[in-house]
């Protein structure tokens, strides 16, 4: 059992990388952002058209149902049924997947109750749990960077186990077998399994992400990454419809915090669903090229190590023994090589760097990867 907290990653006194980026850009020098997790492309035309049409409707400026517009909720239920065979679930639409997770924390956690998360952690999950007064128990992932169900330290205070797959920050894909084992272990102890599927569409090398459901399984999804629309802030919670106590709690949280996700944004999301998975898969061709360029840069440095994971759009790089600290290296990368990455410390893993290959088009990513490769080679010597 390992109970930890981390300084807020947006504190400029803790995280000097954004400050170094600003200084370099103010001096007229380029900075390639391999730091923030988003895709370089924008929404599908069907989403933009739906947004334009919504602007002309009076209802767009009015309140709607807290849990989401009936049209979008019906479409999301159909998506879960058609694409993943999920039946018997209901939906709450949220202002992004981070709000979805925060809603779940507020709905199911009590002061001092325990949440199990796997390291490397996602810092927004950590902060949401801290805000909810939860006791955070971190468990290291196995050598393949995925959770081992046998290592979960259940107690009578455990209320939820949280998994992100494909994983931020490692890109690891958790198998359906592992997810089912976690769900069964949680069910036997009346514990919620919360699975964050923000990166559901992003898999490579023939790998497919399994989606697991059950009467104790809460699913979180996002439009931000796959459909190129993070600024519209739309995510959703899929939860067992029979769990009326959960629906009531989620509804209370939603009404107190945001009432509903933006009606305008929900219309854009509905338009994005019309484009659907085929549109996203077409975009993955460019991300695959980015992935190859960044992997070539990482693998060219002899003393730097990383696993070639098959999901999301991240590689989690381990710095060599004897190198400077990860925050120091990340700052140096910006100042000397014009490449911004995230220090592993904010994920609870000092000595690592998270490199994102989603947020630049292929030509710019190739140039950034070349500079990254030169920098990692220097770190290795």
Residue-by-residue DSSP string for 48-95: HHHHHHHHT-GGGGS---TT--HHHHHHHHHHHHHHH---SEEEEEES
The pLDDT of residue 4 is above 60: no
The pLDDT of residue 6 is above 60: no
- 5: pLDDT confidence band, cut at 50, 70 and 90? very low
Q: In this predicted structure, what is the pLDDT of residue 11?
A: 52
Q: How far is CA 31 from the centre of its chain?
A: 23
Predicted TM-score (pTM) of this structure: 0.95
Q: In this predicted structure, what is the pLDDT of residue 191?
A: 98
The mean pLDDT of 150-157, rounded to a whole number, is 97
Under a CB-based contact definition with an 8 Å cutoff, are residues 196 and 220 in contact?
yes
**Residue 325 carries which DSSP code?**
P
The pLDDT of residue 7 is above 50: no
The pLDDT of residue 287 is above 50: yes
The pLDDT of residue 89 is above 50: yes
The mean pLDDT of 341-356, rounded to a whole number, is 96
The pLDDT of residue 300 is above 90: yes
| Token pair 């600024």: residue | 231
Q: Kindly tell me the number of DSSP H helices and DSSP E strands found in the chain.
A: 10, 12
Q: How far is CA 257 from the centre of its chain?
A: 21
The mean pLDDT of 100-126, rounded to a whole number, is 97
The mean pLDDT of 18-34, rounded to a whole number, is 92
The mean pLDDT of 172-197, rounded to a whole number, is 98
The mean pLDDT of 42-56, rounded to a whole number, is 97
The pLDDT of residue 152 is above 70: yes
The mean pLDDT of 141-162, rounded to a whole number, is 97
Average pLDDT, the chain: 95
| Token pair 């290592």: residue | 151
The pLDDT of residue 172 is above 70: yes
The pLDDT of residue 10 is above 60: no
The pLDDT of residue 53 is above 80: yes
């Amino acid at each position: 059992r390992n109970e930890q907290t981390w300084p807020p990653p947006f504190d400029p006194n803790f995280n000097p990388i954004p400050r170094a980026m600003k200084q370099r850009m103010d001096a007229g020098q380029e900075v390639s952002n391999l730091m923030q997790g988003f895709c370089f492309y924008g929404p599908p035309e069907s989403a933009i058209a739906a947004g334009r049409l919504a602007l002309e409707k009076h209802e767009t400026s009015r309140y709607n149902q807290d849990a989401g517009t009936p049209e979008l909720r019906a479409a999301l239920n159909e998506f879960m049924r058609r694409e993943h065979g999920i039946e018997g679930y209901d939906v709450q639409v949220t202002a992004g997947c981070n709000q979805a997770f925060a809603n779940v924390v507020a709905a199911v956690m009590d002061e001092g109750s325990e949440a199990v998360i796997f390291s490397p952690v996602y810092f927004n999950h950590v902060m949401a749990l801290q805000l909810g007064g939860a006791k955070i128990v971190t468990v290291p992932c196995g050598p393949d960077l995925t959770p081992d169900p046998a290592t979960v330290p259940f107690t009578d205070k455990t209320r939820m186990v949280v998994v992100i797959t494909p994983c931020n920050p490692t890109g690891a894909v958790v198998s359906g077998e592992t997810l089912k084992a976690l769900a069964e272990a949680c069910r036997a102890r009346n514990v919620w399994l919360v699975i964050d599927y923000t990166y559901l569409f992003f898999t490579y090398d023939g790998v497919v992400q399994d989606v697991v459901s059950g009467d104790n399984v809460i699913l979180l999804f996002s439009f931000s990454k796959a459909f190129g629309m993070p600024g519209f802030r739309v995510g959703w919670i899929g939860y067992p419809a029979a769990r009326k106590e959960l629906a009531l709690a989620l509804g209370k949280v939603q009404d107190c915090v945001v009432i509903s996700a933006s009606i305008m944004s929900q219309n854009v999301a509905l338009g994005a669903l019309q484009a659907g998975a085929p549109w996203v898969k077409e975009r993955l061709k460019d991300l695959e090229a980015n992935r190859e360029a960044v992997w070539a840069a990482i693998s060219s440095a002899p003393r730097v190590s990383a696993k070639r994971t098959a999901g999301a759009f991240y590689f989690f790089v381990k710095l060599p023994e004897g190198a400077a600290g990860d925050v120091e290296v990340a700052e140096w990368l910006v100042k000397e090589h014009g490449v911004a990455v995230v220090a592993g410390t904010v994920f609870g893993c000092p000595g690592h760097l998270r490199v994102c290959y989603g947020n630049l088009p292929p030509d710019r990513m190739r140039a950034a990867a070349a500079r990254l490769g030169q920098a990692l080679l220097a770190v290795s010597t």
